[in-house]
Chain A
Amino acid sequence: MSMDDLKTSRRGFLMSSAAAGGALLAAGTARAEGADPLITEVQDWASGLGDGVDATPYGMPIEFEADVVRRNVPWLTADPISSINFTPIHALDGTITPQGCAFERHHSGAIELRKEDYRLMINGLVDKPLVFAYADLERFPRENHVYFCECAANTGMEWAGAQLNGAQFTHGMIHNMEYSGVPLRTLLEEAGMDAAGDLSDKWVYVEGADASSNGRSIPMEKALDDVLVAFKANGEALRKEHGYPVRLVVPGWEGNMWVKWLRRIEITDHAVESREETSKYTDTLADGTSRKWTWVMDAKSVVTSPSPQSPITHGPGPLVITGLAWSGHGAITGVDVSIDGGANWQKARLAKPGAKMALTRFYLDIDWDGSEMLLQSRAHDETGYVQPTKAQLREVRGLNSVYHNNCIQTWHVNTDGSAENVEVS
């Protein structure tokens, strides 16, 4: 293989999608030369029969969508058992993430835990330490809420510079589901909190049943506010990889706190300072000191299409620019889009008004003239916060913060419709 071949194959994806774009352009246009045989000739599917019911008792996406899957970046970690993969956000629309393609992060692999073997303990500064079986949890009054779950390391590889070429890889450590579960507050009240005395300086330590026994300390104010002990997502049981049968949902806060396979809840009078809240998930600043307890995910947005994995395949004319915005501080109130690298901004259309700690879909429908674009999006949330640029964040934090990178992302869209992850001045 020559150097040139190598280059083409490395960039194969971009090239082939651009080429495919050309082909689609011919095939996909409604202004065909002659009559379209897809219309004038009777097609197999219009004549023969399709699958009967029960062909797939639990349906999977049709084979033509087989590339819309989670992917990982093998060089990031030593082993896929303690690793992360990414949601294909470049290929999804709306806001709800299907469970089957929602990113996974495990510290000791995704375990199989039967509901029958599930136990949840509440102990520490409670009036009566309790043990619940799974069936007990289903007897408490339940709530439904849609929330995003974002890993604190989402976009973390981009601190030092543009690295990964695709919205899936730069922003795909996020998913957004409708959870059904019991407020944590209800369970804490069931155990009684008189023993804890003044609650304002108390903590709730939560821990998982897997070998990593991921444990995190949550201040009582948050625990009593909106944290859910969830067992369903998007209407069905949680998937194994998301903590079946029970996970914690900590709205707006970093994903590591959403403990999967939740097995224990302890009221304490201090933060436990577990490995996941000291060695990891702390943000090192330029001078070497590190921030801890950086729980909230600040407002952020990204254009999901066009983007490197979702190039423009139709040439000039009507173009839908779309993306996602979210904030751990509450609802998204607006999203601005720039096509010139941040020199000028226009208001995008929100598909629905922003909801608290949930993904918001935005659209900007333009008449693309076929010229290059430097696409950016900028989120605003209900606290008046506006998503910063990478330069602004670096100014405060330096280059080694790893976590909580919520900077404005730039895609360079070429005249052929292909797109690339870039940084701009």
Chain B
Amino acid sequence: MSKFPKFIAGTALATLIAAPAVADVYGLGREALPEEIAAWNVDISPDGSNLPEGSGSVEDGEILFSDNCAACHGEFAEGAGNWPKLAGGDDTLANDDPVKTVGSYWPYLSTVFDYVHRSMPFGAAQTLSYDDTYAITAYILYSNFLVDDDFVLSKETFMDVEMPNADGFIIDDRAETEYTQFTEANACYENCKDSVEITMRATVLDVTPETEEEASVQDASEEAPVEVAAAETEAPAEEAAAPAMAEPDPELVAAGENVFKKCKACHKVGEGAKNGTGPMLNGIIGHPAGAVEGFKYSSGLQDAAAGGLVWDQAAMTQFLTKPRDFIKGTKMSFVGLKDQEDIDAVIAYLSTFE
């Protein structure tokens, strides 16, 4: 018997897997090289197979987490704003509002390591070393009270960690619990109910986005390119006041818009831009640092601002190359941009927002 549920109605497993004696082979593609396979074949399985050599401590993980993850997931992995919570929620799975976190819900530690290594931090995925990934994973476990503060996670200690909800999952049982009762035989066609009452209305909660308002937002974004163009033609007048900054070249601006995708998760620009994980960046170029109203800057950035830091081309270039080297203690969890071209482009793009 297959361990899988019977999901392919009417198809005998045997006919599918009995591959034809001679399958057609077309001779297309080429053999994958070992180093290519090593580069992509990095998924980690529950039994720990494919775990890389390396290790990392809770202590190192705390610093790494604070630098790379806390902006969205909170200093203690408790989650910031609407971003995912990674810790807490113990014993809530049967409650009205279960809180699903690594500690309360995830059945396998391999999944944490694998996901953090391949998909986080958001906006700079696949940049963490194996040692750093071990350390951050150890810190997430610590935040969930699953290991002590002197714990070191490595290939060797990996399988010792017990995940609280490891036994919390069952394989799809709809075939037994649902399909047997939701059937033709049980379907009613006439006089199925004595009376029908409305028991709940969506308009009471009223959480539907307003269609008209959304439509006008849509219009605004369609008009955006026009606004950018207008801003460009107005630029010379502004320039007299602001420190000399070359008029942005439209091609560079367009390239910068593309680079800005790396920033978008945390920064907004344009009409109505609000502060998010990072401050909104309208009018940032040529203006003093740490001055966006309503944003809580790190003390590092506040100090730099007090020292008179202005976001001119040179300062922005240094900051965006290595944010944490340029401003010690900044809470901008972003690795930096490698290419000078990208930096120039994103600065040109930002300079179009007043």
Are A278 and B108 interface neighbours, CB within 8 A?
yes
Are A298 and B174 interface neighbours, CB within 8 A?
yes
Are B208 and A224 interface neighbours, CB within 8 A?
no
Q: Give bound CA distance, A206 to B187, whole Å.
A: 39
Q: Give bound CA distance, A415 to B205, whole Å.
A: 22
Q: A293 is contacted by which of B44, B111, B171, B264 (Cβ under 8 Å)? A: B171
Q: B170 is contacted by which of A71, A292, A309, A336 (Cβ under 8 Å)? A: A292
Are B208 and A221 interface neighbours, CB within 8 A?
no
Are A374 and B16 interface neighbours, CB within 8 A?
no
| Interface membership of B172, Cβ < 8 A | yes
Are B182 and A108 interface neighbours, CB within 8 A?
no
Are B28 and A132 interface neighbours, CB within 8 A?
yes
| Interface membership of B129, Cβ < 8 A | no
With A109-B261, A385-B182, A425-B197 known to touch, is A131 a contact of B214 (CB < 8 Å)?
A: no
Are B125 and A213 interface neighbours, CB within 8 A?
yes
Q: B9 is contacted by which of A14, A295, A383 (Cβ under 8 Å)? A: A383
Closest A residue to B14 by beta carbon equals: A200
CB-contacts of A81-136 with B (<8 A) = 81-82, 107-109, 121-124, 128-133, 136
| Interface membership of B225, Cβ < 8 A | no
Are B200 and A342 interface neighbours, CB within 8 A?
no
List of A residues within 8 angstroms of B96 by Cβ: 399-400
List of B residues within 8 angstroms of A425 by Cβ: 193, 195-197, 199
Q: Give the segment of A29-37, A232-240, A268-276 that binds chain B.
A: A268-276
Q: Give bound CA distance, A250 to B149, whole Å.
A: 44
CB-contacts of B196-226 with A (<8 A) = 196-203, 205-212, 214-215, 218
CB-contacts of A68-89 with B (<8 A) = 69, 71-75, 77-79, 81-82
CB-contacts of A271-301 with B (<8 A) = 272-275, 278-279, 282, 284, 286-296, 298
Are A293 and B41 interface neighbours, CB within 8 A?
no
Are A201 and B114 interface neighbours, CB within 8 A?
no
List of B residues within 8 angstroms of A109 by Cβ: 261
Are A264 and B40 interface neighbours, CB within 8 A?
yes
List of B residues within 8 angstroms of A290 by Cβ: 93, 105, 168-170
Q: Give bound CA distance, A380 to B188, whole Å.
A: 13
| Interface membership of B177, Cβ < 8 A | yes
Q: How far in angstroms is the closest Cβ of chain A from B136?
A: 15
Are B81 and A266 interface neighbours, CB within 8 A?
no
Q: Give the interface residue-count category, chain B.
A: 35 or more
List of B residues within 8 angstroms of A164 by Cβ: 202, 207-208
Q: Give bound CA distance, A386 to B193, whole Å.
A: 18
Q: How far in angstroms is the closest Cβ of chain B from A328?
A: 9
With A140-B26, A284-B98, A423-B200 known to touch, is A275 a contact of B172 (CB < 8 Å)?
A: no
| Interface membership of B308, Cβ < 8 A | no
Are B9 and A329 interface neighbours, CB within 8 A?
yes
Q: Per-position contact with A for B57-94: 1 when CB-CB < 8 Å, else 0?
A: 00000000000000010000000011110000000011
Are B17 and A224 interface neighbours, CB within 8 A?
yes
Q: Give bound CA distance, A16 to B213, whole Å.
A: 13
CB-contacts of A315-355 with B (<8 A) = 329-330, 336, 340-345
Q: Give bound CA distance, A164 to B119, whole Å.
A: 31
With A81-B265, A291-B172, A385-B179 known to touch, is A129 a contact of B13 (CB < 8 Å)?
A: no
Q: How far in angstroms is the closest Cβ of chain A from B171?
A: 5
Are A71 and B211 interface neighbours, CB within 8 A?
yes
Closest B residue to A201 by beta carbon equals: B3
List of A residues within 8 angstroms of B25 by Cβ: 189-190, 192
CB-contacts of B95-125 with A (<8 A) = 96-98, 100, 102, 105-108, 110-111, 114-115, 118-119, 122-123, 125
Q: Per-position contact with A for B1-31: 1 when CB-CB < 8 Å, else 0?
A: 0111101110101001101000111101111
| Interface membership of A28, Cβ < 8 A | no
Are A72 and B4 interface neighbours, CB within 8 A?
no
Q: Give bound CA distance, A109 to B83, whole Å.
A: 16
Closest B residue to A400 by beta carbon equals: B98
Are A423 and B17 interface neighbours, CB within 8 A?
no
List of A residues within 8 angstroms of B23 by Cβ: 189
Q: Give bound CA distance, A214 to B8, whole Å.
A: 24
List of A residues within 8 angstroms of B184 by Cβ: 380, 384, 386
| Interface membership of B36, Cβ < 8 A | yes
Are B192 and A190 interface neighbours, CB within 8 A?
no
Closest A residue to B11 by beta carbon equals: A225
| Interface membership of A13, Cβ < 8 A | yes
Closest B residue to A14 by beta carbon equals: B203
| Interface membership of B340, Cβ < 8 A | no
| Interface membership of A412, Cβ < 8 A | yes
List of B residues within 8 angstroms of A225 by Cβ: 8, 11, 16
With A212-B119, A222-B8, A385-B182 known to touch, is A162 a contact of B201 (CB < 8 Å)?
A: yes
Q: Give bound CA distance, A186 to B24, whole Å.
A: 8
Are A341 and B206 interface neighbours, CB within 8 A?
no
List of B residues within 8 angstroms of A284 by Cβ: 93, 98, 100
Are A221 and B4 interface neighbours, CB within 8 A?
yes
Closest B residue to A211 by beta carbon equals: B125
With A109-B261, A140-B26, A344-B189 known to touch, is A392 a contact of B181 (CB < 8 Å)?
A: yes
| Interface membership of B157, Cβ < 8 A | no
Are B205 and A161 interface neighbours, CB within 8 A?
yes
| Interface membership of A38, Cβ < 8 A | no
The interface of chain B, by Cβ under 8 A from chain A, is 2-5, 7-9, 11, 13, 16-17, 19, 23-26, 28-32, 36-37, 40-41, 43-47, 72, 81-84, 93-94, 96-98, 100, 102, 105-108, 110-111, 114-115, 118-119, 122-123, 125-126, 168-174, 177-179, 181-184, 186-193, 195-203, 205-212, 214-215, 218, 261, 264-265, 276
Given contacts A130-B29, A291-B170, 6 further A-B contacts (CB under 8 A): A9-B210, A165-B203, A190-B25, A342-B196, A386-B186, A422-B199
Could you list 26 examples of A-B contacts with CB < 8 Å?
A11-B203, A79-B276, A108-B119, A108-B125, A129-B32, A132-B28, A163-B202, A163-B207, A166-B208, A199-B17, A201-B3, A211-B122, A213-B125, A224-B16, A224-B19, A273-B110, A289-B93, A290-B170, A291-B172, A295-B172, A298-B178, A341-B196, A345-B188, A386-B184, A421-B203, A425-B197
The interface of chain A, by Cβ under 8 A from chain B, is 9-14, 16, 66-67, 69, 71-75, 77-79, 81-82, 107-109, 121-124, 128-133, 136, 139-140, 161-166, 169, 186, 189-190, 192-193, 199-201, 205, 207, 211-213, 215, 219-222, 224-225, 263-264, 266, 268, 270, 272-275, 278-279, 282, 284, 286-296, 298, 308-309, 329-330, 336, 340-345, 374, 378, 380, 382-388, 392-393, 396, 399-400, 412, 420-425
Top-6 shortest CB links A-B: A288-B94, A288-B93, A341-B196, A421-B202, A78-B82, A211-B125
